Amino acid sequence: MSTSAQSQVALVTGAAQGLGHHIAARLHDAGYRVVLSDINLDAAQQAATALDGSGETAMAVRLNVAEQADFEAALTQVLERWGALHVLVNNAAVTRATPVMEISADEFNDIVNINLGGTFLGCQVMGRYMADQGYGRIINMSSLAGQNGGTSTGAHYAASKGGILTLTKVFAKELAAQGVTVNAIAPGPIDSPMVKALVPEERLPTLLGAIPVGQLGDADFIGDMVVQLAKPEAAFATGTTWDINGGLFMR
């Protein structure tokens, strides 16, 4: 199997907009053929067309990360189209800013099932395929909220993102001997639609004042970190969490 970026295929979940689209774009710029997956197929197709109108290096698939069958179907589509999958970015996530004492059991389960459950299914389904091939790179998108309990995000979001850090270690141990690395990135507040939806404009100066570097993170830079972890040369990095949070959390 060739392991140059130019011959590799990467799938990004939740790639129709926001951080996921930035990640897909940076992988595409780095020479990867990119699969943009999203629960909204029309939006994913528009995003893929924006990267490559010819469809030669970008394709869209519908993928509800809460459904194992959707991961299996997406893998089948990718293999039929391009014959291989080398990189998975588990990015899809949802949150609600419901106060912790008001979160219902159903709402808690919904958020955790999508964010943590979706990452588990991605690592399991795609990780099994990669292990069989003897090569793979999995990058899980966690969050500062999973490390410090969150501020503007809901408790269910923070708990799910904390769980992703542990899942990353579990799958890193499980898949290391088969040439598959599993790492996480934990961004702080990013200049993204999700952050702007959670933080009203009048609260933005307060948020920026609490960040040591005094600014929001850059989504393209997060994408560049994904590209670094996706490289064949990143074989010695596994089970790690890369903190990109403007100094809000240090260890």
Total residues belonging to the chain? 251
Q: Compute and round to an integer the Cα radius of gyration of the chain.
A: 17
Q: Which two tokens stand for residue 210?
A: 């609490």
Helix 68-82 and helix 105-133, axial crossing angle in degrees, nearest 10: 30
Across 35-44, 184-193, 228-237, least confident range: 184-193
Residue with tokens 């949150």: 95
Residue with tokens 């109108």: 53
Across 95-99, 177-181, 232-236, least confident range: 95-99
Q: Could you tell me if 112 and 66 are in contact, meaning their C-beta atoms sit under 8 angstroms apart?
A: no
Question: Over the stretch 190-212, which tens digit does the pLDDT of each residue have?
Answer: 887 777 777 778 888 888 999 99
SS3 58: strand
**CATH number, span 5-190+218-243:** 3.40.50.720
Helix 18-29 and helix 41-51, axial crossing angle in degrees, nearest 10: 30
Q: For residue 73, how far is the Cα from the chain centroid?
A: 19
Name the catalytic one among 32, 129, 135, 157.
157
Average pLDDT over every residue of 230-234: 97
pLDDT confidence of residue 195: 74
Q: Could you tell me if 62 and 123 are in contact, meaning their C-beta atoms sit under 8 angstroms apart?
A: no
Q: For residue 24, how far is the Cα from the chain centroid?
A: 10
Residue 157 among the catalytic residues: yes
Query: How many of the other CB atoms lie within 10 Å of CB of 31?
Result: 14
Average pLDDT over every residue of 217-230: 97
Q: Could you tell me if 183 and 140 are in contact, meaning their C-beta atoms sit under 8 angstroms apart?
A: yes
Model confidence, pTM: 0.95
Question: Over the stretch 43-91, which tens digit does the pLDDT of each residue have?
Answer: 999 999 999 999 999 999 999 999 999 999 999 999 999 999 999 999 9
Q: List the domain boundaries for the chain.
A: 5-190+218-243
